[in-house]
Amino acid sequence: MASSSDTTSSADHTPENPESGSVCETSDTTDGPARRGRVRARRAAVMAVPATLAAGALAVLTAEGALGVQFAISGMPFTVTATELNGTGFEQFGGLDHMAPGSPNEGDTGGQVLVVTSAIKNATLTKLCQSVDLGGTNLLITAGGGAQKVTASDLTTDSTELSGDAAFNNIEIGNDASTLTKAGVKGPIGVFSQQADTVHIANLRQTNYATTAGVFRLPGLKLRFSDPGC
């Protein structure tokens, strides 16, 4: 620590209080060691406390599922397949999904996609596979391949295509979508709908724009990029 450092190091301090400039000349003579900056604990706490609270709030909201529940669909369709779907409490009705304003996937659709909304109160799926075409490669998610099956409650999917071998129990076709009762979801008034007590679909294949679920359990989850989709 050469004595010359005292004069040079204090020169480029430009703190917010202008008084320190006037003190500099006097302090240089009295200060023995070089002046070092320090973190003031109280000053740091002014920012640390609200930041910690905000981080905690984010974590809690995410854990409760309150964050990310209201989402704008990306406008990128994804494919879902399963060898078998069993569900209790089934509803189906038409609807309209909206993309985020200015989404590049709008094309000439005006940002709206006509979808069929399927809601299932409790669903069990075997060998679930989900893939999104990202342009060249697919993001592939598989689950439920082993002994444990994928289970979901309050599952709703917004699809544009749905195929499979289906069987329904106690089906009611032609209800108004606003009067549905079996899965606890209500559609818009004046829209065609159908509902059933139980549903069984083999070789399910869906093209979806959105999926939401109260609880979605994915045992044996695998996420990877892959050239072929589902």
Partner 1 sequence: MSARTGFRSAFRRWRADRPFWGGLLLALGGAEILLTMKASMKVVLHVGMQGLAGYLLPALMLLLGLLILFNPAQRLFYSITAVLLSLGTWLTSNLGGFFVGLLLGVVGSCLAFGWLPDQEPRRSRRQRRNAVAAG
> What's the token pair of residue 214?
């109260």
- Nearest CB to partner 1, comparing residues 14 and 147: 14
Q: Candidates 66-74, 88-96, 120-128, 199-207 — which segment interacts with partner 1 by CB under 8 A?
A: 66-74
Q: Which residues are within 8 A (CB) of 195 and not within 5 positions of it... i.e. 6 or more apart?
A: 90, 91, 92, 171, 172, 175, 180, 181, 182, 183
Write phi, then psi, for 223 (nearest 5 degrees). Answer: -120, 130
- Nearest CB to partner 1, comparing residues 5 and 203: 5
- d(C-alpha 169, C-alpha 97), whole Å: 29
Q: Please report whether residue 25 would count as binding partner 1 according to CB under 8 A.
A: no
Q: Please report whether residue 58 would count as binding partner 1 according to CB under 8 A.
A: yes
- d(C-alpha 116, C-alpha 135), whole Å: 25
CB of 33 to partner 1, least distance (A): 10
Q: Could you tell me if 153 and 215 are in contact, meaning their C-beta atoms sit under 8 angstroms apart?
A: yes
CB of 78 to partner 1, least distance (A): 13
**Nearest of 97, 80, 35 to residue 229 by alpha carbon:** 80
Residue in this structure with the two tokens 């059933």, named with its chain if needed: 196
Q: Please report whether residue 52 would count as binding partner 1 according to CB under 8 A.
A: yes
CB of 20 to partner 1, least distance (A): 6
The residue from 7, 21, 27, 96 that contacts partner 1 (CB under 8 A) is 27
Q: Please report whether residue 221 would count as binding partner 1 according to CB under 8 A.
A: no
**Nearest of 153, 154, 179 to residue 93 by alpha carbon:** 179
Q: Please report whether residue 44 would count as binding partner 1 according to CB under 8 A.
A: yes
Q: Could you tell me if 83 and 126 are in contact, meaning their C-beta atoms sit under 8 angstroms apart?
A: yes
In terms of DSSP H, where are the helices of 115-162? none
CB of 77 to partner 1, least distance (A): 13
Residue in this structure with the two tokens 């003579």, named with its chain if needed: 29
Q: Please report whether residue 223 would count as binding partner 1 according to CB under 8 A.
A: no
Q: Candidates 28-36, 120-128, 155-163, 166-174 — which segment interacts with partner 1 by CB under 8 A?
A: 28-36
In the region spanning residues 89 to 148, those forming contacts with partner 1, defined by CB under 8 A, are 100, 103-105, 134-137
In terms of DSSP H, where are the helices of 68-120? none
The residue from 7, 21, 28, 43 that contacts partner 1 (CB under 8 A) is 43
Residues in the site for partner 1, rule: CB under 8 A?
Answer: 1-2, 5, 9, 12-16, 20, 23, 26-27, 30, 34-48, 51-52, 54-55, 58-59, 62, 67-68, 74, 76, 100, 103-105, 134-137
